[in-house]
């Protein structure tokens, strides 16, 4: 889902969110590493049973060997400055992001769209115009030229970072009017004159057509691309010079963020992944964890953890940290869960630092939002949490304590890494708790620096820790 950016349609949508939750005091997660994305590491749970976990693996991932598995940067926000300089802006930040521990960058849709120099890219016209053809009133896209985009991707790879493309394949926009034999009217479905000359489309390639009246969903009155059409399949993911393989093999993208996947069946992303490869995550905007898991399994893809997002909003803005016991996608399968605090579409959580402390110490693939990092929040504190994620956030999760104001969880560690204990405090006063760690007779410290305590655990692994008001602390072995 995204905010539509177009001239001829006005779209309003009401979203209904359904929650599926189960309350448990201790959540120990036993998952299987996914093919192509993870290398399997054999470790042992706290009760001595073996299980498989993994580290995110890629040819360009700087933090392949690190316990946390990586952090993604959403490198844009809605209505970034127009004028064709955004790719250059991002390029100048890549070295600092890489040094901070960010391992991947998610870019907005990169091809020419209907609204030309003002478009955020979610109204695509020509998938092969990256800012090098004069159409839709501009040569460059809102973000810049093809040369500048290639320079950004090349620089990211030099910094050992991956680059993910935002893929919009539910709908198109900017076609010419044509007589449509399937509707008996004129429709804006003639894309035969696109400047790149690649993946020309007509009314036969959009619903309603010879393949049926509709698929899972349409968006905003835009022509709804028909993925059941062999011609569309061929151009999107089958042919060597089609969209997917051109983006991966020529433009050198490493993965994909699929936009508005509610609009088509999960088999589409599954087929893309099988034929193109690379990391993938889908925007299935729904708080029902059963639905998220269903989509991720059938698409063979990661999915944004909207269940986690809305639970964090309830917890940190609603003063009810007990809801963090509820079910979320990262608890079902952390290897298919991409967690986030805000993005270009939704920014509901006001207790953001607590939310970032949560996703950067827990399982899943955490995403940092550009404006949170560069403009709105404390960058040093976020960098500290990214370091903790990459170096300490290991193993499965046990929830140790919750009430309305407090939440304490333990990452149980693996492969010699000791893991951590995270303490979140949403009250107005300092809090202290006795908790059980994984460490006996061991000095620990708060790696955020929010507490100056250096306590030593008892022989039975119990210790008292503290947490500042409206804040967090993260404890691990003092080494």
Q: Report the C-alpha gap between 132 and 38 in whole angstroms.
A: 37
Which two tokens mark 299?
């698409």
pLDDT 10s digits, 176-199: 999 999 999 999 999 999 999 999
| CA proximity to 466, closest of 478, 450, 442 | 450
**3-state SS, residue 381:** helix
Q: Give SS3 for 218.
A: coil
- DSSP string over 307-327: HHHHHHIIIIIHT-GGGGGS-
Catalytic residue chosen out of the listed positions 123, 129, 140, 259:
259
Was 229 annotated as part of a binding site?
A: yes
Catalytic residue among 224, 283, 293, 305: 283
Name which of 437, 411, 420, 395 is nearest 479 in CA terms.
420
Nearest C-alpha neighbor of 311 from the set 21, 9, 6: 21
Pairing of strands 224-225, 444-446: unpaired
CA distances from 224 to 140, 174, 176, 356 (A): 26, 13, 15, 36
The predicted structure's pLDDT at residue 18:
32
Is 259 marked active-site? yes
CATH of domain 38-394: 3.20.20.80
Q: Would residue 374 show up in a list of annotated catalytic residues for this protein?
A: no
What's the pLDDT score for residue 220? 87
pLDDT of residue 52: 27
- Is 42 annotated in a binding site? The answer is no
Q: CA 366 to CA 363: how far, in whole Å?
A: 8
pTM of the model: 0.87
**Distances, alpha carbon 301 to alpha carbons 2, 106, 182, 218, 232, in Å:** 20, 16, 34, 22, 21
In the predicted model, residues of the chain with pLDDT beneath 70 are 1-68
* Contact indicator for 117, 137 with CB cutoff of 8 Å: yes
Alpha helices in 161-276 (DSSP H): 230-233, 243-245, 266-276
Return the ∠ at Cα 38 (arms to 373 and 292), rounded to 5°: 65
- Tell me the two tokens of residue 249: 């093999």
Length in residues, the chain: 479
Question: For the chain, what are the domain ranges?
Answer: 38-394
Sign, Cα dihedral of 182, 186, 189, 192: positive
3-class secondary structure, 383: helix
């Amino acid at each position: 889902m995204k905010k539509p950016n177009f001239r001829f349609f006005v779209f309003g949508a009401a979203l209904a969110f359904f929650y599926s939750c189960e309350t448990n005091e201790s959540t120990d997660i036993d998952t299987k590493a996914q093919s192509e994305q993870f290398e399997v590491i054999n470790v042992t749970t706290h009760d001595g049973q073996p299980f498989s976990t993994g580290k995110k693996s890629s040819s360009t991932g700087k933090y392949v060997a690190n316990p946390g598995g990586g952090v993604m940067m959403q490198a844009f926000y809605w209505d970034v400055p127009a004028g064709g300089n955004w790719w250059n802006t991002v390029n100048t930040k890549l070295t600092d992001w890489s040094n901070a521990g960010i391992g991947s960058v998610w870019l907005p849709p990169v091809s020419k769209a209907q609204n030309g120099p003002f478009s955020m890219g979610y109204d695509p016209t020509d998938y092969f115009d990256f800012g090098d053809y004069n159409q839709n009133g501009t040569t460059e896209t809102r973000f810049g030229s093809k040369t500048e985009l290639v320079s950004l991707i090349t620089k990211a790879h030099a910094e050992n970072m991956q680059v993910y493309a935002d893929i919009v394949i539910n709908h198109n926009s900017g076609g010419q009017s044509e007589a449509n034999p399937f509707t008996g009217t004129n429709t804006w479905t003639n894309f035969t004159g696109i400047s790149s000359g690649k993946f020309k489309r007509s009314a036969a390639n959009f619903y309603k057509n010879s393949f049926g009246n509709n698929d899972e969903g349409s968006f905003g009155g835009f022509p709804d691309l028909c993925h059941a059409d062999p011609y569309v399949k061929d151009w999107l993911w089958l042919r060597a010079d089609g969209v997917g393989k051109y983006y991966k093999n020529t433009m050198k993208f490493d993965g994909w963020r699929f936009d508005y996947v509610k609009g088509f069946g999960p088999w589409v992303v599954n087929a893309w992944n099988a034929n193109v490869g690379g990391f993938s995550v889908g925007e299935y905007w729904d708080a029902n964890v059963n639905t998220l898991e269903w989509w991720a399994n059938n698409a063979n893809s990661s999915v944004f953890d909207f269940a986690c997002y809305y639970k964090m909003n309830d917890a940190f803005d609603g003063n009810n940290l007990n809801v963090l016991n509820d079910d979320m996608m990262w608890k079902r399968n952390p290897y298919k869960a991409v967690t986030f605090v805000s993005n270009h579409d939704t920014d509901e959580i006001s207790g953001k630092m607590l939310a970032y402390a949560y996703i950067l110490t827990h399982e899943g693939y955490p995403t940092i939002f550009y404006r949170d990092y560069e403009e709105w929040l404390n960058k040093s504190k976020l960098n500290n949490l990214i370091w903790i994620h990459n170096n300490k956030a290991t193993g499965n999760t046990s929830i140790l304590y919750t009430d309305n104001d407090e939440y304490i969880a333990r990452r149980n560690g693996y492969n010699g890494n000791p893991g951590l204990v995270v303490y979140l405090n949403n009250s107005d006063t300092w809090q202290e708790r006795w908790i059980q760690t994984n460490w006996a007779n061991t000095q620990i410290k708060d790696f955020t620096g929010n507490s100056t305590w250096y306590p030593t655990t008892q022989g039975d692994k119990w210790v008292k820790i503290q947490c500042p008001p409206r804040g967090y602390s993260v404890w691990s072995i003092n080494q």
